Amino acid sequence: MVKNKVKFFKALGDETRLSIVRYLLTKDFCACEFSSMTKKDQTTVSRHLKVLVEAGVLKYKKDGRNIIYSIKDNNVKKSLIAFGIEGIKHCCQEELK
């Protein structure tokens, strides 16, 4: 149980992953959209998405050829908000535009 929590918070300890999570707090996104949002190449984005899925932060579903990512569930979303991720979203509102 403690290892899972460590993995969860460790996954959020990277600027790119934190940015991905911040975007996903607003709505679900296709994996292909994160490259332009984060200004990282697709390989790097894919690696970060994998870390977030393995840590239990995100889930994904296939929609034809696209992979759609979202926050794993409402409990995870509530945890993210409780730990200040929502505050980061408001602090950095300019980046979302």
Report how far residue 57's alpha carbon sits from residue 12's, in angstroms, rounded to the nearest whole number. Answer: 9
* pLDDT higher than 60, residue 94: no
Q: Torsion angle, CA of 13/15/17/18, rounded to 10 degrees?
A: 80
Where does 2-89 sit in CATH, by number?
1.10.10.10
Show me where the domains of the chain are located: 2-89
**pLDDT tens digits, one per residue of 67-87:** 999 999 888 887 777 666 555
Task: Give Dmax over CA atoms of the chain in angstroms.
Answer: 38
Label residue 50 by pLDDT band (50, 70, 90). very high
pTM over the 0.85 mark = no
